[in-house]
Structures are given as structure tokens and as C-alpha cells.
């Protein structure tokens, strides 16, 4: 018999969260989306509103939440440096106090809970690619620390609740993710490059363009999250979820120019403080434990993403937010 669950998705109106809500509804689960709409948008979930299995609640998880649920996906936190650096104290609060509140909710109802952690816990890594065993190199007092250290502390809390209260937890370390549904003005590298190219503006690269990232299409990422939640209770993670294909910023910019047919030129600017020089996941554990690996290559994923951005730009004026390269 089908095991229908009531599932809470915090940050459910965000980029990844809205895709996850859609997939869970397609599987006929009851989905409760919680979001304070700081970076999430009602437009991301508007098509889900008529579904009787879907419920949206405006709430900030730094305050306690009282619901009866079977599973929790904790995705609530701004992921773009432009947004998490805008209010760094609140970013730390949502990562830490938000995690405490969601862990308390899971403990009360004996619910499984998944933490959307990030590749940023590795900081500017000395080991490449990054396996889950790597402890990272993070500047605890830099401008990115509110996010990096906030997520690291959240992982600590999850594993302490697991050890102290036998809570069933799952921790996913999410690497750069892109796809339809990204904010047009979020300032992250994929969205910035596409918006600049479509507008015929110069494409801004910070540094010399040799720094690398690995880009995972959102559908692949959501599949990984759902697979991780479905693993046996003793398999807590952490597990890297990302695409191991590695591209320099210059390669990404040139690919976006080619796929958009743009005449944009490339401009180089100083690299922001603490921006990682290399980022690539070792997904051996995901392959073995989840039977998961990305299916969508960067070219195909960018084609879909560019088509989505074209539609958004046709509908409204766009303000490009700078500077930013990395995101988790």
C-alpha cells in the first residue's frame, strides 16, 4: 500500500524548495510549505495552490512552529551571498535557531528531518575534490561566515540531536545548483551570466576566471534529496549532492554567450574576500548509498534555464545584482 506522508518543507517557496514541493505533490504526499518570503516568492508556488494536498504558511522558522508532520526538509536560509550578507545576523539566526526549532518539532513528533547543508562548509578547500570526510577551511570572521559557519553549526546540532535524542536525521551538502525558478536578480553566477548575456551587457567575472565550480541541475538535486530522505534510519550522512563536472568561470561565461547568441564581452573584476578558488564534489558516497548521480549535463541544463530567463525578462525589467560567484 502507498505510504502517504505529511511533509513539511521550510523555504518551500524558494528556488529548490518549490521544485521539491512539486515533486512531493506529484508523489501524492501532503505538503506543507513554510516560507517568510525573504528570498522565496509566492509566484514559485502559485501553480501548486489549487492542489488540495498543498498548504502554504507564511512563517519565519527562527520562531517555533507547531505542526504535526511525518518528515521535514529544512531548506530555509538565503543561499546567495548578496542576500545572506544583507542581514548576516539574521542569516546566522535562521541557520542555528531555525535548526533548533525544526529539530524540536521533529523530536516532538518523531519525524525524520533532512538538513539542506551546503558545500560552503568546506570553505576554500585544500583538498580537491571534496569528500564528506574533509573538515574544511572556513574563515569564522569573514563576510561569508554568517552562512558558512551557520550551516556548520546546524550540522553540529543535527548530529547532537541524533546522538542525544536518537532523532532520525539526514544531512545533504548541496553544491552549486541552477535551473528554472532561480531569482532573476539573485546575483549568483549562473543567473548573472545569463541575464547579462540576454541583455547584451558585459559579463562580469571576479578574479581571473580560473576559479572553478560544479553545477547541478535542480531536478537532479531534488531527486538526490528525496533519495536521501528514503534511506534507512541509521544512514544520517552527510552526503554530497552535486555534479562532479568542473568548469572554470571563464568556460561558463563562454558557454552562456554561445547558448544565448549574445555579443556580450567579458569584464574581469577583483575577487571578493574568501571566495573559494575550487569547488567540486566527490559523490562516491551518493553513488553507493543512494544509487544517485546527476543525469543532466551543463549544456542541456543551461538551455532550459536560459529559456526560462528569457520568459522572465520579457515580463519585467531586471536589475542585475553584483558582485557574487559562489553559492551552495
Catalytic positions are: 147
Cα–Cα distances in angstroms (integers) from residue 94 to residues 36, 114, 264, in the given order: 11, 15, 38
The number of angstroms, rounded, from the C-alpha of 241 to the middle of its chain's C-alpha atoms is 10
Query: Is residue 122 classed as helix, strand or coil in its secondary structure?
Result: helix
User: Could you give the residue ranges of the DSSP H alpha helices within the chain?
Assistant: 15-26, 42-45, 81-84, 88-109, 145-165, 189-198, 218-229, 249-260, 284-290, 298-315
**Main-chain phi, psi angles of 258, to 5 degrees:** -65, -45
Residues near 198 by Cβ (< 8 Å), separated by ≥ 6?
260, 262, 306, 309, 310, 313
Residue 237 CA to residue 231 CA, distance in Å, equals 10
Q: Do residues 40 and 14 make contact, with C-beta atoms less than 8 angstroms apart? A: yes
Amino acid at each position: 500500500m502507498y505510504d502517504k506522508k505529511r511533509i513539511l518543507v521550510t523555504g518551500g517557496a524558494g528556488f529548490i524548495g518549490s521544485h521539491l514541493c512539486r515533486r512531493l505533490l506529484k508523489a501524492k504526499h501532503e505538503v506543507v510549505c513554510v516560507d517568510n518570503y525573504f528570498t522565496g516568492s509566492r509566484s514559485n508556488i502559485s501553480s501548486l495552490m489549487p492542489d488540495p494536498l498543498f498548504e502554504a504558511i507564511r512563517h519565519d522558522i527562527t520562531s517555533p512552529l507547531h505542526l504535526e508532520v511525518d518528515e521535514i526538509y529544512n531548506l530555509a536560509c538565503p543561499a546567495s551571498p548578496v542576500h545572506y550578507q544583507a542581514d548576516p545576523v539574521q542569516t546566522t539566526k535562521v541557520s542555528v535557531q531555525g535548526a533548533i526549532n525544526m529539530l524540536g518539532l521533529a523530536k516532538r513528533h518523531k519525524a525524520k528531518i533532512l538538513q539542506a547543508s551546503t558545500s560552503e562548509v568546506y570553505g576554500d578547500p585544500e583538498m580537491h575534490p571534496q569528500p564528506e570526510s574533509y573538515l574544511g577551511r572556513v574563515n569564522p570572521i569573514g563576510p561569508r561566515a554568517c552562512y558558512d559557519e551557520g550551516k556548520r553549526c546546524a550540522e553540529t546540532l543535527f548530529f547532537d540531536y541524533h546522538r542525544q535524542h536518537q532523532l532520525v536525521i539526514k544531512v545533504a551538502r548541496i553544491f552549486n545548483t541552477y535551473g528554472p525558478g532561480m531569482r532573476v536578480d539573485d546575483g549568483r553566477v549562473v543567473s548573472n551570466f545569463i541575464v547579462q548575456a540576454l541583455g547584451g551587457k558585459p559579463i562580469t567575472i571576479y578574479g581571473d576566471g580560473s576559479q572553478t565550480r560544479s553545477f547541478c541541475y535542480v531536478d537532479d538535486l531534488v531527486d538526490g534529496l528525496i533519495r536521501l530522505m528514503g534511506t534507512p534510519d541509521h544512514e544520517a550522512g552527510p552526503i554530497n549532492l552535486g555534479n562532479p563536472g568542473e568548469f572554470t568561470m571563464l568556460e561558463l561565461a563562454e558557454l552562456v554567450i554561445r547558448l544565448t547568441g549574445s555579443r556580450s564581452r567579458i569584464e574581469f573584476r577583483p575577487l571578493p574576500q574568501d571566495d573559494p578558488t575550487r569547488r567540486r564534489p566527490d559523490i562516491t558516497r551518493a553513488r553507493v548509498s543512494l544509487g544517485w548521480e546527476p543525469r543532466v549535463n551543463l549544456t542541456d541544463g543551461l538551455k532550459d534555464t536560459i529559456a526560462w530567463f528569457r520568459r522572465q525578462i520579457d515580463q519585467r525589467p531586471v536589475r542585475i545584482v553584483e558582485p557574487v560567484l559562489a553559492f551552495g
